[in-house]
Amino acid sequence: MQKAPELIAKLITKFLKNELSEQESKDFELWLASDPKNITLLESFRDTPSVQEELNYFNTIDTDKDWAILSNKLNLKPSPKLNWIKIISYSAAAILLLVAGIGLYQYTTSQRAKMPVLALQADAYDIKPGGLKAQFISADGSSTVLNGKIAKETDANIATKEGFLWVKNTGRQKNGYNQLKTPKAGEYKMILPDGTKVFLNSASTLRFSNNFNKGDRRVELDGEAYFEVAHNQDLPFVVKFNKTEVEVLGTHFNISAYSEEATKTTLLEGAIKIRTEKDQSILKPGDEANVANGMLNVHKVDTYKSIAWKEGMFYFHEDGITEILDQIARWYDVKIEYQGTPGTKKYSGDIRREATLNQVLQMLNAVSGAKFDLKDRTVTVNF
């Protein structure tokens, strides 16, 4: 579904002012659902430090009147040689810059990981996104709370290095184990004693021996993590999760093991061997191994989908609404309750993880038609 850029820009403007008629709402939802890029374009309206003042002014504007004036002044004549998404961007930018004073960041695919988000009314109950939060439990039982960075390094085994938690290996506790744990709405990144970088997603735990890199390089994962493994031909790196093991020499890959019934291992670079109790396989870049009930299945995937969280994005591609909301629940530390039947419809698009929860729910409402009610850290979804 493609409409004239001027009309789409007008619908976007009316959506921001909550002035869409019933028919316009239907047209707008159809347009959003027709292409994931349309969702990203809508997201690209960025709130500014003076956003409330601007929005208050925005809500006093007569959209139809000012649109007619601006259309005549701009004399927009889209060229068939131009990308229509960009034309809409120019049109919408003109409206919002000249009429409302709110800037629009033009959509380009290269900006996917830095896309700004739609501003909301400041008085709405909202929940901020997750951030750098974790707990490091040393082999000797001592615990350090991590918020952004280590304020004071009381544990001789850890330090900060280039924005990472750096775990040194002193060998004081020969049989002890260290753990890095992230809560819901938390994530953290760490450098292991061998130089391997680990990015730990929310509600996840990584466990490794205090003698790591002295005879073996084994870690245990519960949740999700992205690994950039330091190469060591003589000492393979092994990740154990849910009765499954991944063995590598040096490579980049992501493991999602939130569910005991199903896990995903996605390879971006190098090669890895994956073993279950019943089967094993060698993965090549672009492969994803799904393990469900002990059965191993390998297929090609869009690898960006598996690492988008590390790049600060929610990225959906043919996902059901419950799959999407599972990610939302972990990142915003909320409970999801359903009223009605979710259905089997699939959705594609991306939203920045730094968006507030209400901003995310607005986007999901626009494409799915589901109604979202946020109260006391519980999101009720009504279909």
pLDDT tens-digit readout, 267-277 = 999 999 999 98
pTM comes to: 0.70
Kindly tell me if the per-residue pLDDT of 153 is higher than 60.
no
Domain of residue 19 covers: 5-114
Average pLDDT over residues 132-152: 82
Q: Under a CB-based contact definition with an 8 Å cutoff, are residues 164 and 136 in contact? A: no
CA 371 to chain centre: 21
Same domain, 197 and 65: no
Same domain, 210 and 327: no
Residue whose pair of structure tokens reads 């972990």 in the numeric block: 330
pLDDT top residue among 250 and 266? 266
Q: In this structure, how many other beta carbons lie within 10 angstroms of the beta carbon of residue 189?
A: 19
Q: Under a CB-based contact definition with an 8 Å cutoff, are residues 358 and 212 in contact? A: no
Report the C-alpha dihedral over residues 24, 25, 26, 27, rounded to 10 degrees. 50
Instruction: Report which residue type is found at 87.
Output: I
Q: Under a CB-based contact definition with an 8 Å cutoff, are residues 96 and 61 in contact? A: no
32 pLDDT tier (thresholds 50, 70, 90): confident
Of 273, 306, 339, the last residue of a domain is 306
Same domain, 172 and 318: no
pLDDT top residue among 94 and 356? 356
Of 263, 291, 306, the last residue of a domain is 306
- The per-residue pLDDT of the chain, averaged, comes to 78
Of 114, 147, 178, the last residue of a domain is 114
Average pLDDT over residues 118-135: 74
DSSP label of 149: B
Distances (CA, A) of 62 to 8, 92, 319, 342: 17, 16, 38, 37
Q: Under a CB-based contact definition with an 8 Å cutoff, are residues 38 and 32 in contact? A: yes
Query: How many structural domains comprise the chain?
Result: 3
Give the angle subtended at the CA of 250 by the CAs of 244 and 255, to the nearest 5°.
35
Residue 25 backbone zone (phi > 0: left; psi -120 to 50: alpha; other: beta): alpha
Same domain, 139 and 264: yes
In this structure, is residue 121 part of a structural domain? Answer: no
Q: Where would I find the beta strands (DSSP E) of 217-271?
A: 217-228, 237-241, 244-248, 252-257, 262-269
Average pLDDT over residues 156-181: 78
CA 294 to chain centre: 28
Same domain, 100 and 207: no
Q: Under a CB-based contact definition with an 8 Å cutoff, are residues 180 and 134 in contact? A: yes
Distances (CA, A) of 16 to 28, 38, 360: 12, 15, 15
